[in-house]
Chain A
Amino acid sequence: GIQVEQSPPDLILQEGANSTLRCNFSDSVNNLQWFHQNPWGQLINLFYIPSGTKQNGRLSATTVATERYSLLYISSSQTTDSGVYFCAVSDNQGGKLIFGQGTELSVKP
């Protein structure tokens, strides 16, 4: 099955800093989603982005499907951005989402 690797596993930032999170996947996909899991466990949809570039406020994401990676950019980070960021992908085999191990982000005031 598809393998999903996220980097870095942990990231500590000072408030206001920018960051880039990476998601590599081992095969072609037809669905790629980025999520933020807040400290209470709720998974929040950030982007549905199997290819191309999208922006939503301070967040943006780019997926280069031919090279099998996706990037999540966080600009001007805030303490409320803290939590775990997951990338999840699915292929044509049943549409199951396969999750990466996540990047745990901590933004310090």
Chain B
Amino acid sequence: GAVVSQHPSWVICKSGTSVKIECRSLDFQATTMFWYRQFPKQSLMLMATSNEGSKATYEQGVEKDKFLINHASLTLSTLTVTSAHPEDSSFYICSARGTASSTDTQYFGPGTRLTVL
């Protein structure tokens, strides 16, 4: 149980285009989903927290107009990187939590590797 999927697993796009990444909880309802990015040889950095049906909460320094997050249902959250540039190339990982409780376990998706040319 507690499986989280992401699609696509990798994507290459041209500078200036937008890319949408989907995160799905397959066997549980995710009250809260999180989006992280990870640069090579570095740790995970939280970008934003999203609760189903409400606006995402972004971490300091993360541009909300560039990284659009939608959590339309209890099993799906999307991250859209708008007008992508080479510096947005990174590994993007989502996680999901079944309740709003901070003591609940987070389960992670397999990640999406974005390369912007």
Contacts and interface: CB of A to CB of B under 8 A. Distances in A.
A96 B44 contact: no
Given A86-B43, A96-B49, A97-B46, A45 B108 contact: yes
Contact of A30 (B42, B93, B103, B105): B103
A41 B93 contact: yes
Nearest to B49: A96
Size category of the binding interface on chain A:
20 to 34
B108 A95 contact: no
Contacts of A50: 103
Interface residues of B, number: 27
B101 A95 contact: yes
B102 A90 contact: yes
Interface string B74-100: 000000000000000001010101001
Contacts, number: 61
Contacts of A41: 38, 91, 93, 110-111, 113
B106 A33 contact: yes
Q: Which residue, A42, A43, A50, A102, has most C-beta atoms of chain B within 10 A?
A: A43
B106 A94 contact: no
Contacts of B2: 45
A29 to B, nearest CB: 9
A96 B103 CA distance: 10
Nearest to B112: A41
B34 interface: yes
| 5 nearest A-B residue pairs (beta carbon) | A95-B102, A43-B108, A41-B111, A99-B43, A42-B110
